Amino acid sequence: MSGQSDERVSSAKDPSTGLQVFSLYGETLRPTDEMLKGVDTLVFDIQDAGVRFYTYTVTMAYCMEEAAKRNIAFYVLDRPNPIGGEIVEGPVSRSRQDKLRCVFSDSGAVTD
């Protein structure tokens, strides 16, 4: 699976295994009933890029919500921040328009 910057990614079959791979960066941003049919556990392997403008954490939040609705176990595989993570700097986005990078509102509730 691969994609280009700022392009939607289509769902497809993995050529090596023949397994269906569902994209959450295309027509849908959340797992659907069809995608989760027969699933008892979701594993989210998050690759931290060391920057907060990536969409990974929002996709993870959406997946966690959908798993919780269906009583599906959810595990997160994480790694240390590759650029250290000791210093937090830069402006904080308060845009509710930017749903793929700013999923949590000021109240802490997930917005959609």
Summarize pLDDT for 75-109 with one digit per residue, the tens. Answer: 998 877 777 767 766 666 666 556 566 665 554 44
Q: How high is the pLDDT of residue 108?
A: 47
Tell me what pLDDT residue 111 has. 47
- Which amino acid does the sequence have at 70? R
Measuring CA to CA, which residue among 35, 44, 98 is closest to residue 70?
A: 35
Q: Determine phi and psi for 44, rounding to 5 degrees.
A: -105, 110
d(CA 53, CA 99): 11
pTM summary value: 0.69
